[in-house]
Chains A and B, each alone.
Chain A
Amino acid sequence: MVADSSTLLWVTGAYFLLVFGVSIWGYGKSKTEEDFLAAGRTIGPWVGGAVLAATQISAGTFVGTLGRYYFTGVSWGWGWFGVWAGWMVSAVFVAPKLRKFGALTVADYVGTRFASEAARTLAAVLIIVCYSILLTAQFQAIGEIASAVFGITPMVAMGLLLASTGFYTALGGVRSSSYIEFVQTLIMIMALVFAVPVVLSHTGGLTALGEYVGSIEPRVTGWWFTWKEILATGLAFGLGIAAAPYEMTRYYSMRDVATVRYAIGVSMLLQVIIAGSVLTLGIGIRGVYPYLPSPDQASSIMASTLMSPLLGSLFVVAMLSAIMSTVNSILLVTGGAFAHDLYKRLVNPQASQSRLLWVNRISIVVLGILPFWFATMKLGDVQAIVVEQAKFIASFFFVPVVFGLNWKRGTKQGAIWSMVVGFAGCLIWTFTGQHTVARHGVDSVEVGVVLSALAFVIASRLTPPTAQKNLAIFFDESQDLPREM
């Protein structure tokens, strides 16, 4: 893909040296489980914001999303407002209360808020299952990208991804991962922002680009999608973001509540830069190469034909960064869910800090190997797996998190039923072939969330309230949150 392979090797080599250097530094700093899973609560707003952005941006943004802009144009970009609405919901109704609680995992919240070990265990198991599926998609994606970029087999590429990301995640935990993700976000921003003027220079500028691609297909510069389609897509993304476990666990690692709010703002600022750049690049490549056989080829064609060897190499490393940061965040959540919520609670409650640290590390490696094995069997299309698992997470987790943190009357039976019914509703709607917006107008995530909410409210109303000592942690009036907006 990138013509000058020696430049690519140097840039990639420097990147990996930096990543491993930071992870070794993090290893020396992690003495307790709190250090490993919450970075000792030391992360500030800029690093925190970059972490949240890096976790959300994946290889799909560089390939699938860019290709979507190439083919359908500007209007797909409005779906980002659904993502940012999800962040707003999290900033107002979820993140401050979670940070005040200051636990280590998302299942910690479920167990404490609803005073139920069964609800905690169910949440941990569902998170591990859904995120293992998401990890499978990430492994498949790296296999496809690496075989196109480096010319190596998907199996070798997946093995290298697991070895490198598993190594630095298991070594330094959230502390070093956070600083690595800060660097990865900077790389992604640089690659995208530098690429925009290069591509526009080939099109004669923005105005000329608009006139040219508009003459080929007017909907590319106008409205390809109806507002209903944009709203449905935005809602699906937003519901997934508002209660995404791999973002929620990162709130615990930040200094205080104000830091969490600012970090979400920084994350949205970085996402605006990334979204605007990817959008401009997608349409820009349409102006240079209007008739590519597949929209997904747009980014690789751009890196290999329009960019200098150095910028092309930076773009490839940015794609690597996007996928590694997502894999890293998933591994931290699944490893933590197993070690902290299953092993420590159910198997060995007396485990020492040192033992818990090692169980976390071993869990990360083992829970990375299982999806690797699934990925070798190629269970489905990468983009479809990513989107579907996000719908399942939102279906079983949005209500227990957002309702649970803001409605005192929610009970453990409500939480358990909402998770079971939300998951089952999404599953049934998906596998009875009724999951596409275009056909029925109702998406599986909307079915899952509505059923989950009904189950939560009905079961909670029919059962005794949660103990006051558990509610006080999240609803103590003396520590109530500001209401202005």
Chain B
Amino acid sequence: MGFGWSLYGFFIAAVVWLAVYFLWAWRAARHDREQGR
């Protein structure tokens, strides 16, 4: 019995997590620039 979702799911979830976070940070920075802050 080898590795399953507990290992591969960890890495996939981490990559998705980071992608969502950076998208939010980028949109927040763009929003700030548009508001002239």
Contact = CB atoms under 8 A, between A and B. Distances in A.
A211 B21 contact: no
A258 B29 contact: yes
B32 A210 contact: no
Nearest to B9: A78
Interface in B1-37: 1-4, 6-7, 10-11, 13-15, 17-18, 21-22, 24-25, 27-29, 31-32, 37
Given A74-B6, A264-B25, A265-B25, 16 more contacts: A78-B6, A84-B17, A91-B21, A211-B2, A215-B1, A221-B1, A258-B28, A265-B18, A268-B21, A269-B18, A276-B11, A276-B14, A481-B28, A482-B27, A484-B24, A484-B31
B18 A272 contact: yes
Chief secondary structure at chain B's binding surface: helix
Contacts of B25: 91, 258, 261-262, 264-265
A251 B6 CA distance: 34
B8 to A, nearest CB: 9
Given A88-B21, A211-B1, A261 B7 contact: no
8 contacts: A74-B3, A88-B21, A211-B1, A221-B4, A257-B37, A258-B29, A268-B18, A272-B18
A151 interface: no
Question: Which bucket holds chain A's interface residue count?
Answer: 35 or more
Q: Which 10 A-B pairs have CB atoms at the shortest separation, nearest pair first?
A: A210-B2, A210-B3, A214-B1, A482-B31, A258-B29, A261-B25, A74-B6, A272-B14, A482-B28, A211-B2
A interface secondary structure, majority: helix
A206 interface: yes
A204 to B, nearest CB: 12
Interface string A78-106: 10110010001001000000000000000
A257 B32 contact: yes
A383 to B, nearest CB: 22
